[in-house]
Amino acid sequence: MGMKSDIQLIKDGKRLDGRKPNELRDITIKAGVLDNADGSCYLEWGGNKVLAGVYGPKQCLPRHLSNPYKAVLNYRYNMAPFSVDDRKRPGPDRRSVEISKISAEALERVVLLEKFPETMVDVYVEILQAEAGTRCAALTAASVALADAGLPMKDMVTAVAAGKIDGTVVLDLNKAEDNFGQADVPMAVLQHSGEIVLLQMDGDLTQKEFHQAATMAIEASKKVYELQKAALKDKYKERGSK
Amino acid sequence: MREIVIPGERISKAEGNKAGFGAIRRGSSIFATIFGLVDKAKEPIEVVPLNGSYVPHTGDHVIGIVEDARERGCFVDINSAHSGYLAYFREQSFKKGEVIMAEVSSVNEIDKVDLDFAKPLYDGKLIEVEPVKIPRIIGRKASMIGTISKGTGCKIFVGRNGRIFIKGKDDAIYRAEKAIRIIEREAHTSGLTDKIKKFLETGEIDGNEK
Amino acid sequence: MSVEEVALEVKGDYVRQLAAKGMRQDKRKMDEYRPIKVTPNFIPHALGSSYVELGKTKVIAGVSMAVGTPYPDTPASGTLMTGAEFAPIASPLFESGPPRPAAIELARVVDRGVRESKTIDFDKLCITEGEAVWMVMLDLHVIDYDGNLFDSSSLAAISALLNARIPKYEDGKIIREETSGKLPVSKKPVECTFAKVGDVLMLDPTLAEEQGMDARLTVATTEKSICAMQKGGSGSFSLDEVEGLIDQAFKKGKALRKLL
């Protein structure tokens, strides 16, 4: 955020990649792509390529971490070394740990964990190629993987970011916009209740601008939700006739 | 008419319906909580899962692997979130790693299971399938599994927990497993019985193979 | 022992039973590979990449590059470093955490296959002798595990190196968007892994077959020579067995090379 540059990120309502302010990048979602994981999802979002896998509910180990009232949900956001220009050293860095924490918290609101006391659910998201907005892509994919695994949830979680570039509030920042822009607001919402389960912001926004950004993101999340739904329903249709 | 639903999707707006497995009532509507199939005309409205771990019920026959043998009983992995416990009957005793068929005698409020009537399974192949597909693999009045058993000459033990133990000649085991995998993959389609019969007779599978 | 490991042991027993009768679970011949699919340039933003499916095993290889100082004894040569991650998404047997010995072994064996065959022309990676050279970093990311990570990873590694490009380097800065040429790759070493189950030797073990095996031998070959070997597991091989497997590795290696 906030790197200096002379590039104009938005001109006459058109962004560098040709998008309008409230336009999402291209997204494709596929459910059930891995053999071992109980549920999985491969998602491409602009230049992002993410792979989510879920194991569970299963025995919670180590036992002292288990909860007698509900399942423990673990979320591990991990970037492959080749996912970014400057090779990322393997292993959790502070940024990944933070993203993992807030993503787990988002999902805890949604997965009916009380149905599985003393167990754990592991959610793994591998970022294979990163191009800004990975945490939203990851959480969106994780939600599909959880549904694919058969875990009961209140609703699907759909995550979209909005931000500000050159004084204009825009949806779904790409890499250049993230680097040279003025604000970034990743959000995750539940479609039917409108609850916001993940929210971060960095940069510079007035209250009015934030309202614009949030409204834009929530509106766009409906489109992403339809793609999540289609991915799950298509998996079912793919196998055999009908 | 069965429809696929995903978690959070609204199934019905009618006030009178009751929410069964995989569904929840919120206000005046019923929503799905799992990814599955729902028949909106049925009462109570329940969602049949398309995937998911084994949910134990009393009376289920399950196939387990002994994971921890103790003095008076053993803990058995039953492919569920929790292990089951089998209290030994008289001189009974099992070793770690043994495969057994047992009955679920009780399930507690967090789905921990007690097992009874255990007998060992040996000289065969253990395979794992998605637990939600077991009913289809068994078939109505065990017709489907009976067809596979007769068509291959294998003795097949089916556990509700997604485990199947097949005994027979090696080639027969291979064909039986293949037939089971076809059902697992295409459980939701019609014409499956004929497809399986054809496969067992000719070894051919039409439609998509892998 | 975890619950998954106990179940795996049962499957390993069945593999041993079948092997004693000269058979494999999936009806493959003893010298047959599972279906293999290679997708080069799977991660287009990376400098080089490839995605390999070997049966259900799935591995992604990615190539990154940076500029650094050369080793003092080879002042005009670029360098290679290989890493492997057994991502926990790949199997209930993998846990998060630092690389386990098996991951380190995998990285080093794949590395040896590439290095000892002199696949990369390191002299062409020199920018300024004694000061700046290109450092190639090859990362293997396992995303689904059903046995034989060696062959799948080495295939992905070579495929990734074959489509890798070197960024432009100007005035002490890396200009990633521009290219100064392809990574100089002159050979295609491939690895073939065999499992010994009882007295039976089989190519390309699945996870269950790895569980039932007593020992394993991986042989890396180029068209003409052996460039690396690694024996694993606590069993043993006779010299005759080893030489027989090397023979097979050359034959099977040829077929693998065609996929690149």
**In chain B, ranges of CATH 2.40.50.100 domains:** 2-49
The SS3 assignment for B170 reads: helix
Domains and CATH numbers, chain A: 15-233 (3.30.230.70)
Query: Taking Cα atoms as reference points, which of C45, A8, A31 lies closest to residue B7?
Result: A31
Cβ distance A153 to B7 less than 8 Å, yes or no, reads yes
Hey, which chains touch C, using 3+ CB pairs under 8 Å?
A, B
| pLDDT bucket at B2, cuts 50 / 70 / 90 | confident
Residues from chain A contacting residue C89 (CB–CB below 8 Å): 34, 37, 40, 51-53, 124-126
- Dmax over CA atoms of chain B, in Å, equals 57
Q: DSSP state, C52?
A: E
DSSP letter, residue C239: H
Size of interface A-C (CB pairs under 8 A): 90
Chain A residues within 8 A of C46 when measuring between CB atoms: 82-83, 129
Rg of chain B in Å (alpha carbons): 19
Q: Are C3 and B174 an interchain contact pair (Cβ–Cβ within 8 Å)?
A: no
Q: Do B33 and A154 touch (CB under 8 A)?
A: yes
How many Cα atoms sit within 13 Å of B121 on the Cβ side? 28
The answer, yes or no, to whether residue B207 has pLDDT greater than 80, is no
Q: Are C216 and C193 in contact (CB under 8 A)?
A: yes
Q: Tell me, what's the pLDDT at A240?
A: 42
Superfamily of domain B125-202: K Homology domain, type 1 (3.30.1370.10)
Task: Quote the CA–CA distance of B64 and B115 in Å, as a whole number.
Answer: 10
Res C244: pLDDT: 97
Size of chain B, expressed as the number of residues it contains: 210
Nearest-CA distance from C186 to chain A in Å?
23
Eight-state DSSP code of residue C34: P
List all residues 6 or more positions away from C21 whose beta carbon is below 8 Å from its beta carbon.
B170
pLDDT, one tens digit for every residue, chain A (242 residues) = 878 777 888 888 899 999 999 999 999 999 999 999 999 999 999 999 999 999 999 989 888 999 999 999 999 999 999 999 999 999 999 999 999 999 999 999 999 999 999 999 999 999 999 999 999 999 999 999 999 999 999 999 999 999 999 999 999 999 999 999 999 999 999 999 999 999 999 999 999 999 999 999 999 999 999 999 999 999 887 654 33
Provide Rg for chain C, Cα atoms: 19
Q: At what angle do helices C101-116 and C149-162 cross, to 10 degrees?
A: 50
Nearest to C10 by CA among B123, A42, A55: B123
| Contact between residue C85 and residue C97 where contact means Cβ atoms under 8 Å apart | no
Q: Do C3 and B67 touch (CB under 8 A)?
A: yes
**pLDDT tens, residue by residue, C29-62:** 999 999 999 999 999 999 999 999 999 999 999 9
pLDDT tens across C104-118, in order? 999 999 999 999 999
Cα dist. C19→B172, C9, C13 in Å? Answer: 16, 15, 10
How close does chain B come to A113, measured CA to CA in Å?
Answer: 12
Cβ contact B8:B14 at 8 Å: no
**Neighboring chain C residues of B67 at a CB cutoff of 8 Å:** 1, 3, 6
- What does the alpha-carbon distance between residue B94 and residue A140 come to, in Å, rounded to a whole number? 46
CA proximity to A158, closest of A37, A41, A38: A41
Q: How far is C39 from chain A (nearest CA, A)?
A: 14
Q: Do A148 and B35 touch (CB under 8 A)?
A: yes
A62: preceding bond cis by omega (within 30 degrees): yes
Q: How many CA atoms lie within 13 A of C130 on its CB side?
A: 0
**Residue A39, both tokens:** 């549920």
Query: E strands within C129-188?
Result: 132-144, 165-170, 173-182
**B208 has a pLDDT exceeding 70:** no
CATH topology for B61-121 is OB fold (Dihydrolipoamide Acetyltransferase, E2P) (2.40.50)
The domain defined by B2-49 carries CATH number 3.10.310.40: no
Q: What is the DSSP letter of C33?
A: P
Angstroms from A34 CA to nearest CA on chain C: 6
Higher pLDDT, B43 or B99: B99
Helix (H) or strand (E) holding A75: strand A72-79
Report the distance separating Cα B190 and Cα A213, nearest Å.
48
Return the number of other C-beta atoms located less than 10 Å from residue C38's C-beta.
18
B108 is written with which tokens? Answer: 């507690």
C59 forms beta bridges with: C52, C142
Q: Which fold has domain C3-257?
A: Ribosomal Protein S5; domain 2 (3.30.230)
| Residue in A54, A55, A70, A119 to test binding to B, most B beta-carbons within 10 Å | A119
Sorted by sequence, the CB contacts under 8 Å of residue B26 that are 6+ apart come out as none
The minimum CA-CA distance between B89 and chain A, rounded to whole Å, is 27
The per-residue pLDDT for range C167-211, each reduced to its tens digit, is: 999 988 999 999 999 999 999 999 999 999 999 999 999 999 999
**The pair of three-digit structure tokens given for residue B18, joined into one six-digit string:** 């009751």
Q: Does C89 touch chain A (CB under 8 A)?
A: yes
Cβ–Cβ of C10/B83 closer than 8 Å? no
How far apart are alpha carbons A142 and A149 in whole angstroms? 10
**Bridge partners (DSSP) listed for residue B106:** B114
